[in-house]
Structure 1
Amino acid sequence: MYEAEHLQAFGGLPAVDFQSKDDPADRPAADDVAWRISVEPYGDDDRARPWEQEFADFLDAVDPSGVRALIIGQWGEAYEENSAVPIGLVIAAAGRLTSLEAVFVGDLEAEQAEITWIEQSDVTALLAAFPALTEFGARGGTDLVFPPVKHDRLRALTIQAGGLPVQVVRGVLDSELPALERLDLWLGVSAYGGDTDVADLAPLLSGTRFPRLHHLGLRNSEVQNEIAAAVASAPVVARLKTLDLSNGTLGDEGAAALLEGQPLTHLDTLDLHHHFLSEAMAERVRSALEPHGVHVDLSERNEPWDNRGAEGRYTAVSE
């Protein structure tokens, strides 16, 4: 099992940590990178300071009017302090962050906090405050709130969780996002609050939502076989370029359903990495799709824990 790691890039830009003590001459231009603002709440060094102060120093040190991508990293003790404070501070600076196009909330890696320890809040306040955003992401499902929103320019939405609450999924699917091209949801496991089932995905799979969608990720799920079976006949698939069912418990049952359903030969990519397929089934998938030019990712083949068969399968990211 691997853990969520720091973003290496975001908004089409390399991710760079802002540090107030850096020599200004060594800093990249404001619009050349995705700036990660993060503090260390546990140590005695210069980074053991409030996120509010680090963000204020950032706004003074880097021309905020040029910032295109912002990553909210660790803002405090993640399991005690939720994301409302950093979100509120970014919103308060909206008049200065006039070029902002991409925001990610909760870019913490496992050494800082397990994904289920990250205390989130209503992240849609950022969408309301920044109507020019084209990309938005969040990590952590605990106390995550995502009521239905209307946003005319958002093209990419990612929510990463060890367990994604169904109310969040419903909020996303009830949102008006006419420009949305990429949707990536980590559904997670029930033990950590992932209570979405296949029926909750019906509005999305029907193809009636998000008319410009061409990349769909329904990932990191303990019901990956059931999702694959539903996707196999889902109208939305016909307009996809990329279908991502990775990081979950997919086995031969789910892969067989995909092959027996509608043609997938129009896809550019079928991503199934971190799976539990037999070698024979993996070869069947490759043989059915790769001759048609589909890139199939079947890396990270796993064996169930303790030889328990389907009951021993596990998602890539849970706690």
Structure 2
Amino acid sequence: MTVAHHLQTFHGLRVHTLPEAGTAGLPEPDAVAWRLDCFEAGDIPFPEVWGHFTAAVDTTRVRALVLGPWWDDEYCELRPVLDLVLADAERFPALRALFLADVTGEECEVSWLQLTDVTPVLERFPLLEEFGVRGGDSQGLGEEPLSLRPVRHEALRVLRFESGGLPGPVVRAVAACELPALERLELWLGVQQYGGDATVADLAPILAGGRFPALRHLGLQDSELQDEIAAAVASAPVVAQLETLSLSMGTLTDTGAEALLGGQPLTHLKRLDLHHHFMSGAVTERLRAAVGSAGTEVDLSEHCEPHRWRDEEWRYVAVSE
């Protein structure tokens, strides 16, 4: 499966794609999350789209920005596009949210999105509160893969990486960042085939608690190691500070569910998201009774059956290629 839809809302704002030309009828600069898309703009190069945007909209009032497909004809890397945005950072004093690569599978599969070092975003926008990234370039086609260096950022409240294969160095860098305001962290870990080589050990600093004192939501999702992650979460100190937890989209089976059932109580959570799973009906009912009976919302939707090939079973994550 792949990403099928563009963002409809971002940072609490309706997403509005900049029209091809003209300024008539544009919404107020701070009323929407502005989405830039070279396809929707008439297949013109991103520098022209960016120039149109910065001329038509009062950038000093823009609160949220979403980058869709940044190539107009042949696919190109993100780095030159991101450099253009970062060079104009001072023109966006009100920017609080940025999403890179709001691209669907029809436009480019998530595993083929050639990203770059995204650390400069956090360095150039010290007041940024929400940062989302989709992709990873697991095919090794780009000059540089998706990467992140450990940083301290005082304002960031939401960090989200969507990938069919999130590189281990990125996960380790996230775990080494100092983000005192971080409330929501979501990592789509993916599969090794598409570059997702992070291990449960890489998650240890996050699971230990204390790294992100304001954290209230943790998503460790879309992983072929979902059972191992569930076992680690079952005794992880960080769980006590959470309000919501997601171990969804991966290959969670009865093994991981039994670890959760035998671990620390989860009844303090407002929501436990386990959708897209491979658990049996009996175990899902035990989870629903054990956790949901205390008022926790438990999402056990999207039960999946393993694919079978000869004598082998194959379990799949929700988003990979």
TM-score range for the pair, normalised by the shorter chain length: over 0.9
Q: Moved runs in structure 1, 4+ residues, more than 3 A?
A: 77-80, 307-311
Between stretches 295-304 and 308-317, larger displacement belongs to: 308-317
Q: Specify the SS of the correspondent of 1:5.
A: coil
- The answer for unaligned runs of 5 or more in structure 2 is 138-144
Q: Residue 9 of structure 1: CA displacement? A: 1.0
Between stretches 305-314 and 214-223, larger displacement belongs to: 305-314
What is the TM-score of this pair, normalised by structure 1?
Answer: 0.95
Q: Specify the SS of the correspondent of 1:266.
A: coil
| C-alpha distance in 1 between matches for 2:184 and 2:221 | 13
Q: How has the CA–CA distance of structure 1 residues 228 and 78 changed in structure 2, closer, same or farther, with 3 Å as cutoff?
A: farther
Matched, 1:206 2:208: yes
Matched, 1:52 2:30: no
Q: Residue 296 of structure 1: CA displacement? A: 0.3
Q: How has the CA–CA distance of structure 1 residues 161 and 4 changed in structure 2, closer, same or farther, with 3 Å as cutoff?
A: farther
- How many residues are paired up? 314
Q: Specify the SS of the correspondent of 1:15.
A: strand
Alpha-carbon RMSD: 1.7
| C-alpha distance in 1 between matches for 2:217 and 2:67 | 25
Q: How has the CA–CA distance of structure 1 residues 78 and 101 changed in structure 2, closer, same or farther, with 3 Å as cutoff?
A: farther
| C-alpha distance in 2 between matches for 1:156 and 1:12 | 12
Whether the aligned pair in 2 keeps the contact of 1:248 and 1:316 (CA below 8 Å) is yes
Of 229, 235, 238, the match for 2:237: 235
Matched, 1:6 2:6: yes
Between stretches 24-33 and 202-211, larger displacement belongs to: 24-33
Q: Over residues 234-283 of structure 1, what are the superposed CA-to-partner deviations in whole Å (9 max), with x where a residue is unaligned?
A: 00001100100010000111111101100000000000001111111111
What is the TM-score of this pair, normalised by structure 2?
Answer: 0.94
1:7 corresponds to which letter in structure 2?
L
Of 92, 95, 98, the match for 2:93: 98
Q: How has the CA–CA distance of structure 1 residues 4 and 219 changed in structure 2, closer, same or farther, with 3 Å as cutoff?
A: farther
Tell me what 1:74 maps to: 69
Q: Over residues 111-140 of structure 1, what are the superposed CA-to-partner deviations in whole Å (9 max), with x where a residue is unaligned?
A: 110001100001111111111100001000
Q: Residue 157 of structure 1: CA displacement? A: 0.1
| C-alpha distance in 1 between matches for 2:275 and 2:41 | 40
Q: Specify the SS of the correspondent of 2:198.
A: coil
Whether the aligned pair in 2 keeps the contact of 1:15 and 1:34 (CA below 8 Å) is yes
Q: Residue 21 of structure 1: CA displacement? A: 2.2
Tell me what 2:28 maps to: 29
Q: Residue 96 of structure 1: CA displacement? A: 1.3
Q: Over residues 52-102 of structure 1, what are the superposed CA-to-partner deviations in whole Å (9 max), with x where a residue is unaligned?
A: 110110111111111000001111179952211221111111121110000
Q: Specify the SS of the correspondent of 1:281.
A: helix
Tell me what 1:298 maps to: 300
Tell me what 2:177 maps to: 175
Between stretches 10-19 and 225-234, larger displacement belongs to: 10-19
Q: How has the CA–CA distance of structure 1 residues 151 and 310 changed in structure 2, closer, same or farther, with 3 Å as cutoff?
A: farther
Whether the aligned pair in 2 keeps the contact of 1:20 and 1:61 (CA below 8 Å) is no
2:97 corresponds to which letter in structure 1?
A
Q: How has the CA–CA distance of structure 1 residues 149 and 113 changed in structure 2, closer, same or farther, with 3 Å as cutoff?
A: same
Whether the aligned pair in 1 keeps the contact of 2:45 and 2:72 (CA below 8 Å) is no
| C-alpha distance in 1 between matches for 2:74 and 2:250 | 25
| C-alpha distance in 2 between matches for 1:267 and 1:179 | 20
1:15 corresponds to which letter in structure 2?
V
| C-alpha distance in 1 between matches for 2:21 and 2:72 | 22
| C-alpha distance in 1 between matches for 2:300 and 2:317 | 15
Q: Specify the SS of the correspondent of 1:196.
A: coil
Q: How has the CA–CA distance of structure 1 residues 54 and 232 changed in structure 2, closer, same or farther, with 3 Å as cutoff?
A: same
